[in-house]
Amino acid sequence: MKKLTISLIAFAFIFSFQSCKEPKKNYTVPNTYNFSNVNYSGQTIRLSMIDALVDAVKAGNTGTVLDATDLKNMYSNTGNPFSIAALDTSGKQLKNKTFLADQATVETWIDNAATASAAGGTASNGTSGIVTNGTKSYLLDANGFDLKEGVEKHLQGALIYYQITAIYLSEDQVGAQVAIADRQHHWDEAFGYYGVPVDYPTNTAGVLHLGEYGNDRNALLGNGTAVMNAFLKGRAAIDNDDNETVTEQIAIIRDNVERGIAGTAVHYINEALANVGDNAVRSHTLSEGYFLVKSLKYNPTKKVTDAQIATLLGYFGTNFWTTSTTDLQAAKNLLSTIYGFDAVKDQL
């Protein structure tokens, strides 16, 4: 009798637990990002602002003397600084969306680019200037850092990556307690920052920034497709109040955007290793890899630790004129170990 009573209690507990679980919802997930009331116009504007600012800094690669004030005005959208009127009058800016502690950092790289462009001359160890290999030219600081990359990668990391992973996909923005219309809009804004077409990966035209990195690595890592599928499934889940699925898709997006950045960092390390004797390409690709590694910190659920980021940056060093191939190989191997790239690290 005692055994029967215990069995009945256990059965009752299991039945009660199962009956309290949220029933599985059935709904259709579309193949393209075409949902009702989608709006990420602000993100589209800011991606265009980033392109305009980066292009302005890039002009220093071919001898244009840069004006730091003009570039900073583009960063804060002050005084109608853009050649596109719609950007000037948009009411949007880049500075106030950048991770607060890195706003001054972006402006420092702008200042450094302007100073180096005014100095002119040829870059060498200890001297800022332009380095060229006959077909490609880059404006470097005295330590061999590509100054355009210093600006661009900080905007991709401290603004785009930060806004996607830490802001718009946060519990405060898309959690179950948030009104559904707000959840939808915040999810759309995260998608807008990723910079891919609504029918990606079928259509890869015009992919931008993190979306471009994801797409470039997609054949080997499948990360770009995973991000897109998660954005589609998560938005459909929000529309149908399927909170468990929303949470699952957030994790997938964060993880695979991070893998796209890390995989691209390995790609640029490979490029640097293949061009150690070319001062122009080596400095440029080292800068790309260095700043991508640095940007990994913004994801609140990142796979890499802060200590590992510090170790990786230490391998790159503080002077790209003296960075060794041994240290670069160590950085590549550590990244590959952290992210499980060993099988494809030489092909990335």
List, for residues 59-70, the tens digit of each pLDDT value. 999 999 999 999
Q: Which token pair is 288?
A: 């790309």
pLDDT at 160 over 90: yes
pLDDT at 14 over 60: no
pLDDT reading at 21 higher than 60: no
Q: Is the pLDDT of residue 271 over 70?
A: yes
Note the pLDDT of residue 6.
Answer: 39
Q: How far is CA 69 from CA 107, 198, 239, in A?
A: 10, 36, 45
Please state whether the peptide bond connecting residue 201 to the residue before it is cis, i.e. omega within 30 degrees of 0: yes
User: Is residue 258 helix, strand or coil?
Assistant: helix
Q: Is the pLDDT of residue 56 over 60?
A: yes
Summary mean pLDDT of the chain: 94
pLDDT confidence of residue 20: 40
Q: What is the mean pLDDT of residues 99-125?
A: 97
Q: Which residue has the tokens 């949902």?
A: 35
Tokens coding 197 = 């077409």
Domain ranges, ordered by start, for the chain: 41-339
Q: 234-249: per-residue pLDDT in tens?
A: 999 999 999 999 999 9
pTM score = 0.93
3-state secondary structure of 146: strand
pLDDT value of position 1: 42
Backbone angles phi, psi at 142, to 5 degrees: -65, -20
Measured CA to CA, the distance from residue 331 to residue 80 in angstroms comes to: 42
Q: Which pLDDT score is estimated for 24?
A: 67
Identify the three-state secondary structure at position 127.
strand
* Alpha helices (H) along 126-222: 147-155, 162, 171-174, 180-194, 209-221
Sorting pLDDT into bands at 50, 70 and 90, what band is 25? Answer: confident
Q: What is the three-class DSSP state of 278?
A: coil
Q: What are phi and psi of 132, to 5 degrees?
A: -140, 150
Report the SS3 class of residue 324.
coil
pLDDT above 60 for 99: yes
